[in-house]
Amino acid sequence: MQLYLIDPLADSRWDDLVSQHPSASAFHRRGWLQALAETYGYEPWVLTSAPAGQPLNDGILFCRVSSWITGTRLVSLPFTDHCEPLLQPASDVRDFIAWLTEERDRARWKYFELRPLSLQPSLDGPSGGRSFVFHKLDLRMPTEQLFRNLHKDSIQRKIRRAEREKLSYEVGRSQQLLDEFYRLVLITRKRLQVLPQPRKWFSNLRKHMAENLEIRIARKNGVAIAGLLSLRHHSSVIYKYGGSDKRFHNLGGMPFLFWKLIEESRHSGIEQVDLGRTDLDNQGLITFKNRLGAARSQLTYHRYPGHEAPGPVVHWDWRAAKYVVSHLPDSLSYAAGRMLYRHMG
């Protein structure tokens, strides 16, 4: 099969494919790709069987990540929970993988990685990659049933506590909401001993995702105590980022916000909430998502060649960052995040 590379930021055929393909998500949208390019300098590309001038019927999206710390590789797609190859039923993913393998060998990339949500690519040879727990919440039922499916003690009770505490609530994309949300992100990342993402990343997401991005903030006496950021594509919403102030956890701010996301999404015609990936050893977050009534499955990335152990790259941003963050003052921690995140994609 003859395959071609196109620039999805310059070729409108990519937008047409994303708008109609049933496996497309918010992570395939031009806005997400523009934010990646402007924040981290990644160049997005699409590998397709469609020559110039022909309608685009398939494509695998990826970015080249070049780093003196973590090596040069192709990732589909950096900082993205999942990125399904947008293929047709008659497409043979092995043709695409063979092309990427040849390019990997020619350019001496460290590896290339696919992050499919459902497609299970195969190749005549080993492939290896990380696995995660993935949660998805089906909204195609009455709102009352969705509430009954929430865990009675840890979710329903906390939502009622938030209502008794008269937490105020706002949803939108204003600069004030972004400022409040980012402050909560910094607090949370510090608590978890993880480097914070650059503020520029969230500003670029807000700018380029536009109406497909929403920020929800819960306040107590005017003080923002919890926030979450979601991305929309057609009938699906992705919960992508959250943050909270531990001093107010007893007020139930985060369960309250998740219920607002569920309830409002259901009323606006959304059919599912994608709760994203969770590391296998993060039992606390896995349990929380289970208690929202979400269905749980395994999400596995595919890395070629598989004999290249993923450990050093996979754990660099967690183990090393936790050690570094725990010994850095806040100002240096933020600076380190701005400098190092582009190497982690």
Give me the pLDDT at residue 92, please: 83
- Listed residue (215, 199, 224) closest to 333, CA to CA: 199
The CA distance from 23 to 115, in Å, is: 13
DSSP state of 150: S
What is the value of pTM for the model shown? 0.91
Domain with CATH 3.40.630.30 in the chain: 4-130+301-343, 134-299
Q: Residue 339 burial (CB < 10 Å; 0-12/13-18/19+)?
A: exposed
DSSP 266-306: HHTT--EEEEEEEETT-HHHHHHHHTTT-EEEEEE-EEEST
The contacts of residue 177 (CB under 8 Å, 6+ apart) are 170, 215, 217, 227
Give me the pLDDT at residue 310, please: 44
Tokens describing residue 283: 């039992």
The CA distance from 31 to 29, in Å, is: 5
- Asked if 85 contacts 332 with a C-beta cutoff of 8 angstroms, the reply is no
Go through 24-33 and write b for each residue having 16 or more CB atoms within 10 A of its CB, e for each that does not.
Answer: bbbbbbbbbb
Q: Quick one: which H or E segment has residue 137?
A: strand 131-138
Mean pLDDT by 10 residues, the chain (345 residues): 94 97 97 97 95 95 86 91 92 88 88 87 62 97 97 97 97 98 94 89 98 98 98 97 97 98 97 97 96 96 68 47 62 72 77
In which order are the strands placed within the sheet that holds 272-279?
168-172, 213-220, 223-233, 236-244, 272-279, 131-138, 295-300
266 Cα distance to chain centroid: 21
Give me the pLDDT at residue 342, please: 79
Q: Class assignment of domain 4-130+301-343?
A: alpha beta
Q: How many CB atoms lie within 10 A of CB 176?
A: 12
The domain made up of 134-299 is a member of CATH 3.40.630.30 = yes
Phi, psi of 23 (to 5 degrees): -95, 0
Give me the pLDDT at residue 195, please: 84
Q: Residue 48 burial (CB < 10 Å; 0-12/13-18/19+)?
A: buried
- Asked if 135 contacts 296 with a C-beta cutoff of 8 angstroms, the reply is yes
